[in-house]
Amino acid sequence: MIRLKRALVFTLLHGAALVRKALLATPRSEQFLRPGFEPLLWRIGTWRLWFAAEQARKHVPAYQQLLSEHGNPQVRIRRLVPDFSAFPITDKASYVLRFSTEERCRHGQIPPRGVVIDESSGTSGRPNNWVRGPEERADVRKLLQL
């Protein structure tokens, strides 16, 4: 049953990603950030998190290692709502400082093109780098415009 729910949600996510791209490309995309859409946006956000976690589990060496150290937790589903409570928290100390930038990328490599490496301000004492791909940069740019 969980596999069926997962397949359903991930299929919906692929469709939602296409709709999201189309909506963000429209001049009136800010309508969806107005009050009233929060429950829908929250649900889609949790599904996107689930999908991202599964992709990281498959492709990101640092995340694979972290999950392995915590017994390879699985997402539990309750009425199509993912429960991440069994997952370890990934914060600066337990993840960012522990693993290299490359280990935190897909397949353990910084992509050869189309990415930007951003650096934090270092207000905590040490700046950190993270990789942003073209899609994430476009999303951030559009959201900042809104």
The whole-model pTM stands at 0.74
Q: Within the chain, which residues score under 50 in pLDDT?
A: none
Question: Would you state the pLDDT for residue 100?
Answer: 93
Burial string for 66-83 (b: 16+ CB within 10 Å, else e) reads: bbeeeeeeebebeeeebe
- Residue 92: the pLDDT is 87
Are 112 and 93 contacting, i.e. CB atoms less than 8 angstroms apart?
no
Task: State both tokens at 114.
Answer: 């189309």
Pairwise CA distance, residues 22 & 27, whole Å: 10
pLDDT of residue 7: 73
The whole-number pLDDT of residue 31 equals 65
Residue 19: the pLDDT is: 65
